[in-house]
Amino acid sequence: MVYLYLMKKARFWNIIFFLVWPVAAVAISLIYGVSAFWSPFLFYGPLAILLSFCHRKYVARTALISLLGLPLMIVVDYIAEVTGTWLWPLPASIFPFTLFNYVSVEVLIWIYFHFFLVILFYEYFFDHHKKIKPAFTFRSSLFLRGVLVIFAVFVLLYLFFPSFVHIPYWYLIFGSLLLLPPIVLEEMRYPKVFLKIFKAGMYFLYLNLLYELTAIKLGWWSFPSGQFIGQVSFFGIQFPFEEFFFWIVIFTMAILSFYEYFFDDER
């Protein structure tokens, strides 16, 4: 009984920290003029460290799974950068090299932190298991093969038919084809699981919106292309509707829908 009480007490204070830290990260960013490189360490780092201590048994598994999505995100980011859908980091990468002349190390650090935090947050607060599911199963191998096939096709197009990867309205296309379908399928097939995913998504809507507003304010990234279906504005800060809907609102739910199907038990 004492153990359960202490666990509930710790979880309560963890929730408070998760609500307060994003506001603190905004304040630190604005006061000290934090650069784009340090932004994921600031917004995601303390939260990830806390969860790593609280949920140690899932850290190695989550760290490994988070790596598997990087090749796909390299493809997404390259097309976005080359078409001007977004440019990040600004004014330029602090590293002397990029992948495929466009994909920066900062982007890979950011997306890895995001994957890691989303999955560990979900496991700690919503998806409780008595036994840890192996990272590599038949379904996870299918995911990895699919990602590698997409990446291989991209490399071939990049080398021999580069104009094929200059896709107009890229944000709308990849968001509609890659992010929306897994969420809809998960909601239709497993509504109880989707409810957990939705709850996690609501927290990251809060976190990502604060991150976005800070990024636009400090010029960490921009959206130079005019190929968007609309704009939204919060507190006088404007950015594309696709950024709001596909990243801030549903990106977390898409990650967790993929995660449940390929790496978890959908329970």
Q: Return all residues near 21 (Cβ < 8 A) that are at least 6 apart.
A: 46, 47
Beta-bridged to residue 222, according to DSSP, are 87
Beta-bridged to residue 87, according to DSSP, are 222
Q: Return all residues near 70 (Cβ < 8 A) that are at least 6 apart.
A: 108, 111, 112
- Amino acid identity at 250: I
Domain locations along the chain: 2-263
Pure H helices in the chain: 2-32, 39-43, 45-54, 59-68, 70-83, 105-125, 138-160, 170-174, 180-189, 191-218, 241-242, 251-263
> β-strand 231-234 against 237-240: which pairing, if any?
antiparallel
Gyration radius of the chain's alpha carbons = 19
pTM: 0.93
Give the chain's length.
267
Q: What is the pLDDT along the chain (267 residues), one digit of tens a residue?
A: 433 334 555 778 889 999 999 999 999 999 999 999 999 999 999 999 999 998 888 899 999 999 999 999 999 999 999 999 999 998 878 888 899 999 999 999 999 999 999 999 999 998 777 677 777 788 889 999 999 999 999 999 999 999 999 999 999 999 999 999 999 998 889 999 999 999 999 999 999 999 999 999 999 999 999 899 999 999 999 999 999 999 999 999 999 999 999 998 777
